[in-house]
Amino acid sequence: MSVLKKIFGSRNDRIVKGLNKKVKAINDLEPEFQALSDEELTAKTAEFRQRLEQGETLDSIMPEAFAAVREGSVRSLGMRHFDVQLVGAMVLHQGKISEMRTGEGKTLMSTLTAYLNGLAGSVHVVTVNDYLAARDAQWMGKLYTFMGLSVGVISSGQDHASKQAAYACDITYGTNNEFGFDYLRDNMAFTTDQKAQSALNLAIVDEVDSILIDEARTPLIISGPADTTGDVYAKMDGIVPKLVKQEEEDGEGDYTVDEKSKQAYLTEAGHEKAEQLMVEFGILPADASLYDVGSIALLHHLYAAIRAHTLFQKDVEYVVQDNQIIIVDEFTGRMMPGRRWSDGLHQAIEAKEKVEIQRENQTLASITFQNYFRLYDTLSGMTGTADTEAVEFQEIYGLEVVVVPTHRDMIRVDQSDVIFRTMGEKFDAIVEDVRERHAEGQPVLLGTASIEVSELLAKEFKKHKLPHEVLNAKQHEREALVIAKAGRPGAVTIATNMAGRGTDIVLGGNLDMRLSEAKSDAEHDQIRAEWKRDQEAVLESGGLYVVGTERHESRRIDNQLRGRSGRQGDPGETRFFLSMDDSL
C-alpha cells in the first residue's frame, strides 16, 4: 500500500494535483482580466448569467469567474487570491470540505465559490458567531458589490422585513443558529409572505467541524410557555441543600451525579428522604408517593434542581446579567441571550440564583444542525482542523475532506506542555512568563476555557500591575477593539475561546482601525509609519505568543487557539500550562 502511495501519491495529493491544472488555466486568463476597465469587469457578471441561461454550466465558466473575482478583489480590497486559495475554492464548489491551516485566508477564499454559485442562485455563508458574520459581510461585501452581486447579513433580533431583504440577496451571511431558527420560523408560518428564508441551494460553512461535529446534535428549539407555577421551583431549591451527595459507589448519600452526561439520580434512601421533605414543604400530600401519576412532574423538577446545584456553575455554563440567567456557549465562549435550557433546568437555575423565575416552555418546533444542513442541495465547508474527523464527515454528511497545502511554510514553535501540582503554582508561572514577554515587547494572548478563569487571571495580573485586556462573553461589545489591539508590541490579552475560531490578530495591530482615526493625509502617513515600526518590533520579538491556561474538551479547540499565532508564515510560539487541579 505504502509503495503504491509513493508512486501515485495519496488520494488527497491526486485531487490537489488535478485542481492545480485548473489553477494554471485561471492564471493564464489573468492578463486578459487585468486589461479590462472597472465597468467591463463588473459587466462580466451579467455576461456569465446570460451564458448560464443559454445552457452553459457553472463548471464551464468557473475559470473565467474565478479570474474575474481575483481581479475584482485586487481592485476593491487590495488583496489577490493565492493559488492555494483557488484550489480551496474549487474544493468548496465540488461540495467538499477544504482544510486550510489557520491564517491561510479562508474568508477571502470562500468569495470565489460564493460568487460563482451566486450567479445561479442564493448562497448562504455560515459562520460561528454574529461578530464574524457582520465582519465578513462588510469586509467581503466590497468585493461582491464591485462585481455586481448583492450581499445581506442576518442576525438575531432583526425585524422581519430586514430578514426578508437579507435572504433576497445573492449571498447571505449569518450564524448557524440564525439560519436554523429562520427555517423553523418559516415552517410555522401560515402564509408565504410570512416566510423569510430563500431556497437552500448552497451552504458554505465556516469552521465546519465546530458546527457539523461539535454542535451537530444540539437541537434548535422554538418554544411557548407551559403552565407550571414558579413557587414549585423555589421550594425544590430549598430541598436540594438538605440532600447529601453520594461520594462513593454503594456508599451513603441521597443522590449521584454523572458529570459526563450532566444528569443526577436519586438513590433509594434519597427517594424516601425527598418524599418526606416534599411533604414538609407542602409540595406533596402526606398520603401520596413520588411515583404516583400526578407526582411524576415533581420528581422531574427535583432532578432539575439537583442538576442546577451540582452541575451548572455561575460564570462557567451561565452568567447572571440584568436579573436574568444567560447561557454561555461552551464551544464559542459567547453569551446566548434568548436561549433557555429546557425541562425546567433554566427555572431551577433561576431559583438557585434568586432571580425572577420565568415560566417553563414547551417545544413548538425543533431541528438539529445535523438534519438542517442536510437539507441543502450542496453542502461544503472550510476549517483549519477537519482532517481528524474526516471519517465522521464522510459517514454522516457524505463530505470528503481535502487538505489544501499552505501558501508559506509554517514556522510557529509549539512548545511542550508545562504541568504544575496546584492551580496557584500554575498561575504564578503564567504571570512570571507573561511579565518577561511583556517586558520584551512581545504580544501575548492567553486562552481560558471559562469566564471564571479569565477573571481569576485578570485579578492576578492586576495584583502584579501587568497591563492587560479581558475578552469574554461579558465584554463582547468591545470585541473588535480588543482584537484590533491584541497584536501590538507588549499587548496582553486574556480571552475565553471567543478569540479562537476565525479571529485574525494582526502583528503590529489592526492598521485599518488605526487609520480610521486619522484626520489628515499627513496623520495617515504617520500612523502607517508607526504601524510598520510596531510590526517590525513584534516580528523581532518572536511574533504572537499564545498561552493555553487549560486543555479544552476538544483537541480541535486547543488547535484553534494555537492557530491564532504563526499565520501566513509569521513567527510565533505557543505553550499550554496545566495543573493537577484542572478539571478533566
C-alpha cell at 52: 448560464
Give the pLDDT of residue 499. 47
Q: Where are the alpha helices (DSSP H) in 504-552?
A: 511-515, 521-541
Long-range contacts of 338-347 (CB under 8 A, 24+ apart): 338/156, 340/223, 342/221, 342/223, 343/300, 343/304, 344/228, 344/233, 344/300, 344/301, 344/304, 345/304, 345/307, 345/308, 345/312, 347/228, 347/230, 347/233, 347/304
Give the pLDDT of residue 500. 47
Give the pLDDT of residue 294. 74
Give the pLDDT of residue 514. 74
Neighbouring residues of 178: CB distance < 8 A, sequence distance ≥ 6: 133, 154, 155, 156
In this structure, CATH architecture of domain 230-359: Alpha-Beta Complex (3.90)
Give the pLDDT of residue 339. 86
Between 3.40.47.10, 3.30.590.10, 3.10.450.50, 3.40.50.300, what CATH number should domain 9-222+368-403 receive? 3.40.50.300
Q: How far apart are CA 328 and CA 307, in angstroms?
A: 17
Neighbouring residues of 320: CB distance < 8 A, sequence distance ≥ 6: 314, 326, 353, 355
**Helix, strand or coil for residue 414?**
strand
Give the pLDDT of residue 229. 62
Give the pLDDT of residue 306. 94
Please give the average pLDDT of every successive group of 10 residues along the chain, which has 584 residues. Answer: 54 86 93 94 95 94 96 93 93 92 83 95 91 89 95 91 94 94 92 89 90 82 70 89 88 89 89 90 84 81 93 91 89 82 89 88 84 93 80 88 79 86 91 92 88 87 88 66 82 73 70 74 82 86 89 74 77 90 73
The domain made up of 413-579 is a member of CATH 3.30.43.10: no
CA dihedral of 562, 510, 135, 318, whole degrees rounded to 10: 50
Give the pLDDT of residue 584. 60
Residue with cell 491584541: 486
Q: For residues 285 and 298, is the Cβ–Cβ distance under 8 A?
A: no
Q: Identify the bridge partners of residue 219 per DSSP, sorted by sequence position.
A: 368
HSE of 52, CA atoms in CB hemisphere, 13 A: 18
Q: Backbone phi, then psi, for 411, in 5-degree steps?
A: -115, 10
Same-fold call for 9-222+368-403 versus 230-359 = no
pTM over 0.85: no
Domains of the chain: which residue ranges?
A: 9-222+368-403, 230-359, 413-579
